[in-house]
Chain A
Amino acid sequence: MELVQMQKSLQDYTKSLFLEGVLDSQFLQLQQLQDESNPDFVSQVVTLFFQDSDRILNDLSLSLDQQVVDFKKVDPHVHQLKGSSSSIGAQRVKNACVVFRTFCEQQNVEGCHRCLQQVKQEYYLVKNRLETLFKLEQQIVASGGVIPAMELGF
Chain B
Amino acid sequence: MVVAFSEMMVRIRKLVTSRPIFVIFVLAFLVFVFGCIPVTIWRRTTKDVTNEIASITEDLQSSLVSEVENIGKFTYQKTSSSTTGLARIIDSYLTNNDIHFKNIQTQIAPVLFQAYSTIPQVSQVLYVSTDGLLFSYKTELNASVAVFANSSSSNSSGKGDYTWYKQTIDQITGRLIGNATKIKPVDVTHKDWFQAAQRNHTMTFVGAGLGGEVNETMFQCVVSLDSKKGVVLLGFPVKTLIGTLNHLDLQGGQLYLWTKEGTLIVPESSLNATFFTSNGSICFRRESSRTLSSHCIHGNCSSSAYQVVIGGSKLQAFCSVLEVSGVPLRYTLMFPNKERTPSIGSASLYLLVAAMFLGLCWPLGFVYFMVNAAGREMHMRATLINQMEATQQAERKSMNKSEAFARASHDIRGSLAGITGLIDICHDSEEVRHGSELETSLKLVNGCTKDLLDLLNSVLDTSKIESGKMQLKEEEFNLAKLVEDVIDFFHPVAMKKGVDVVLDMHDGSVFKCSNVRGDGGKLKQILNNLVSNAVKFTVEGHILIRAWAQRTSSNVVLASDNEGGLSKFSKCIKNKDQSSTSRRDNGNMMEFVFEVDDTGKGIPMEMRKSVFENYVQVRETDQGQQGTGLGLGIVQSLVRLMGGEIRIIDKAMGEKGTCFQFNVLLSVASESQLSRQDMELEEGNYKPWAIKTSLGGSMSIRNMSPRLHNWLSSSPKQERSRVVLLLKDGERRKVTEKYIKSLGIKVTVVEKWEHLNHALERLLGFSRQGSMGRAECGSLSSSSRELPLIGMDGIDSRSQTPKRTRHGFSPAFLLVIDAETGDFLELHDIVEQFRRGLHHGQSCKVVWLNGPSGSESLEGNIICSKPLHGSCLNRVLKMLPEFGGTEPKEDKQGAFKPSEDEFLSGKRVMVVDDNRITSSVATRKLKKMGVSEVKQCYSGKEAVNLVSKWLTQRELEEEGSTQMFLPFDYIFMDCQMPEMDGYEATREIRKMEEQYGGGLHIPIIAVSGHDHGSREAIETIQAGMDAFMEKHLNHDQLAKVIREITKQGMGSLN
A38 at the interface (CB under 8 A from B): yes
Task: Give B916-951 as 1s and 0s: 1 = Cβ < 8 Å from A's Cβ atoms.
Answer: 111011001100100000000000000000000000
**B1032 touches which of A29, A76, A98 (Cβ 8 Å):** A29
Q: Which residues of A contact B918 (CB under 8 A)?
A: 83-84, 86-87
- In the assembled complex, the CB of B831 is this many whole angstroms from the nearest CB of chain A, namely 43
**A45 touches which of B427, B913, B920, B1032 (Cβ 8 Å):** B920
- In the assembled complex, the CB of A40 is this many whole angstroms from the nearest CB of chain B, namely 12
Q: Which residues of B contact A35 (CB under 8 A)?
A: 928
Query: A84 vs B920: C-alpha distance in the bound complex, in angstroms?
Result: 10
Task: Give B411-455 as 1s and 0s: 1 = Cβ < 8 Å from A's Cβ atoms.
Answer: 000100010011011111110000000000000000000000000
Query: A83 vs B424: C-alpha distance in the bound complex, in angstroms?
Result: 24
Task: Give B877-917 as 1s and 0s: 1 = Cβ < 8 Å from A's Cβ atoms.
Answer: 00000000000000000000000000000000000011111
Q: Which residues of A contact B422 (CB under 8 A)?
A: 18-19, 21
Query: A151 vs B915: C-alpha distance in the bound complex, in angstroms?
Result: 28
- In the assembled complex, the CB of B965 is this many whole angstroms from the nearest CB of chain A, namely 27
A128 at the interface (CB under 8 A from B): no
B1049 at the interface (CB under 8 A from A): no
**A154 touches which of B421, B914, B917, B928 (Cβ 8 Å):** B421
Query: A41 vs B922: C-alpha distance in the bound complex, in angstroms?
Result: 12
Assess the B425–A45 pair: CB atoms within 8 A: no
Assess the A83–B429 pair: CB atoms within 8 A: no
Assess the B428–A153 pair: CB atoms within 8 A: yes
Known: A80-B915, A154-B421. A87 touches B429 (CB 8 A): no
B110 at the interface (CB under 8 A from A): no
**A83 touches which of B414, B427, B928, B1009 (Cβ 8 Å):** B1009
Q: State the majority secondary structure of interface residues on B.
A: helix
Assess the A15–B414 pair: CB atoms within 8 A: no
Assess the A19–B425 pair: CB atoms within 8 A: yes
Q: Which residues of A contact B914 (CB under 8 A)?
A: 80
**A86 touches which of B418, B976, B1009 (Cβ 8 Å):** B1009
- In the assembled complex, the CB of A102 is this many whole angstroms from the nearest CB of chain B, namely 9
Query: A24 vs B921: C-alpha distance in the bound complex, in angstroms?
Result: 15
B521 at the interface (CB under 8 A from A): no
Q: Which residues of B contact A29 (CB under 8 A)?
A: 925, 1032
B643 at the interface (CB under 8 A from A): no
Query: A76 vs B917: C-alpha distance in the bound complex, in angstroms?
Result: 15
Query: A145 vs B5: C-alpha distance in the bound complex, in angstroms?
Result: 80
Interface centre among A30, A82, A83 (most CB of B within 10 A): A83
Chain A's closest residue to B978 (CB) is A76
Assess the B1031–A86 pair: CB atoms within 8 A: yes
- In the assembled complex, the CB of B431 is this many whole angstroms from the nearest CB of chain A, namely 9
Query: A44 vs B427: C-alpha distance in the bound complex, in angstroms?
Result: 30
Chain A's closest residue to B427 (CB) is A153
Query: A117 vs B224: C-alpha distance in the bound complex, in angstroms?
Result: 168
- In the assembled complex, the CB of A36 is this many whole angstroms from the nearest CB of chain B, namely 12
Interface centre among B913, B914, B921 (most CB of A within 10 A): B921
Assess the B425–A153 pair: CB atoms within 8 A: yes
Query: A82 vs B430: C-alpha distance in the bound complex, in angstroms?
Result: 32
Q: Which residues of B contact A87 (CB under 8 A)?
A: 915, 917-918, 921, 1032
**A18 touches which of B425, B916, B917, B1009 (Cβ 8 Å):** B425
Chain A's closest residue to B913 (CB) is A83
Assess the B421–A24 pair: CB atoms within 8 A: yes
Q: Which residues of A contact B429 (CB under 8 A)?
A: 15, 151, 153
Query: A45 vs B422: C-alpha distance in the bound complex, in angstroms?
Result: 24
Assess the B917–A49 pair: CB atoms within 8 A: yes
**B428 touches which of A26, A45, A76, A151 (Cβ 8 Å):** A151
Q: Which residues of A contact B976 (CB under 8 A)?
A: 79
Task: Give A45-64 as 1s and 0s: 1 = Cβ < 8 Å from B's Cβ atoms.
Answer: 10011001000000000000
Q: Which residues of B contact A86 (CB under 8 A)?
A: 918, 1009, 1031-1032
Query: A35 vs B927: C-alpha distance in the bound complex, in angstroms?
Result: 12
A1 at the interface (CB under 8 A from B): no
- In the assembled complex, the CB of A126 is this many whole angstroms from the nearest CB of chain B, namely 13
Assess the A154–B978 pair: CB atoms within 8 A: no
Q: Which residues of A contact B414 (CB under 8 A)?
A: 95, 98
Chain B's closest residue to A95 (CB) is B414
Interface size class of A (residues with CB under 8 A): 20 to 34
Query: A49 vs B918: C-alpha distance in the bound complex, in angstroms?
Result: 9
**B925 touches which of A15, A33, A44 (Cβ 8 Å):** A33
Query: A63 vs B430: C-alpha distance in the bound complex, in angstroms?
Result: 47
Known: A80-B915, A95-B414. A38 touches B924 (CB 8 A): yes
- In the assembled complex, the CB of B407 is this many whole angstroms from the nearest CB of chain A, namely 9
Query: A80 vs B425: C-alpha distance in the bound complex, in angstroms?
Result: 28
Assess the B916–A15 pair: CB atoms within 8 A: no
Chain B's closest residue to A18 (CB) is B425
A152 at the interface (CB under 8 A from B): yes
A88 at the interface (CB under 8 A from B): yes
Chain B's closest residue to A34 (CB) is B924
Task: Give A121-154 as 1s and 0s: 1 = Cβ < 8 Å from B's Cβ atoms.
Answer: 0000000000000000000000000000001111
Q: Which residues of B contact A52 (CB under 8 A)?
A: 915-917
Q: Which residues of A contact B917 (CB under 8 A)?
A: 45, 48-49, 52, 83-84, 87-88
Q: Which residues of A contact B928 (CB under 8 A)?
A: 33, 35
Known: A19-B425, A83-B918. A26 touches B1032 (CB 8 A): yes
Assess the B921–A88 pair: CB atoms within 8 A: yes
A25 at the interface (CB under 8 A from B): yes
Query: A98 vs B428: C-alpha distance in the bound complex, in angstroms?
Result: 29
Query: A25 vs B1035: C-alpha distance in the bound complex, in angstroms?
Result: 14
Query: A33 vs B915: C-alpha distance in the bound complex, in angstroms?
Result: 18
- In the assembled complex, the CB of B191 is this many whole angstroms from the nearest CB of chain A, namely 150
- In the assembled complex, the CB of A95 is this many whole angstroms from the nearest CB of chain B, namely 7
Query: A38 vs B427: C-alpha distance in the bound complex, in angstroms?
Result: 30
Known: A76-B978, A87-B921. A152 touches B428 (CB 8 A): yes
Q: Which residues of A contact B418 (CB under 8 A)?
A: 21, 24, 91
Chain B's closest residue to A32 (CB) is B928
Chain A's closest residue to B922 (CB) is A87
Q: Which residues of B contact A26 (CB under 8 A)?
A: 1032
- In the assembled complex, the CB of B933 is this many whole angstroms from the nearest CB of chain A, namely 15
- In the assembled complex, the CB of A130 is this many whole angstroms from the nearest CB of chain B, namely 13
Assess the B1009–A41 pair: CB atoms within 8 A: no
Interface residues of A in 94-108 (CB under 8 A from B): 95, 98
Task: Give B390-419 as 1s and 0s: 1 = Cβ < 8 Å from A's Cβ atoms.
Answer: 000000000000000000000000100010
Q: Which residues of A contact B913 (CB under 8 A)?
A: 83
Q: Which residues of A contact B920 (CB under 8 A)?
A: 44-45, 48
Q: Which residues of B contact A91 (CB under 8 A)?
A: 418
Known: A38-B924, A41-B924, A79-B976. A84 touches B916 (CB 8 A): yes
- In the assembled complex, the CB of A119 is this many whole angstroms from the nearest CB of chain B, namely 16
Chain A's closest residue to B925 (CB) is A33
- In the assembled complex, the CB of A19 is this many whole angstroms from the nearest CB of chain B, namely 7
Q: Which residues of B contact A38 (CB under 8 A)?
A: 924
Query: A25 vs B421: C-alpha distance in the bound complex, in angstroms?
Result: 8
Chain A's closest residue to B920 (CB) is A45
- In the assembled complex, the CB of B742 is this many whole angstroms from the nearest CB of chain A, namely 46
Q: Which residues of A contact B921 (CB under 8 A)?
A: 30, 33, 45, 87-88
Query: A61 vs B1032: C-alpha distance in the bound complex, in angstroms?
Result: 29
Query: A118 vs B925: C-alpha distance in the bound complex, in angstroms?
Result: 31
Chain B's closest residue to A21 (CB) is B418
A21-B418, A88-B917, A154-B424 given. 5 additional CB < 8 A pairs?
A: A45-B920, A49-B917, A76-B978, A95-B414, A152-B428
B interface with A by C-beta (< 8 Å): 414, 418, 421-422, 424-430, 913-918, 920-921, 924-925, 928, 976, 978, 1009, 1031-1032
A interface with B by C-beta (< 8 Å): 15, 18-19, 21, 24-26, 29-30, 33, 35, 38, 41, 44-45, 48-49, 52, 76, 79-80, 82-84, 86-88, 91, 95, 98, 151-154
15 A/B residue pairs, CB under 8 Å, sorted by A: A15-B429, A19-B422, A21-B422, A26-B1032, A48-B920, A76-B978, A80-B914, A83-B913, A83-B917, A83-B918, A84-B917, A87-B918, A95-B414, A151-B429, A153-B424
User: 4 closest A-B pairs (Cβ-Cβ)?
Assistant: A153-B428, A84-B917, A83-B915, A87-B918
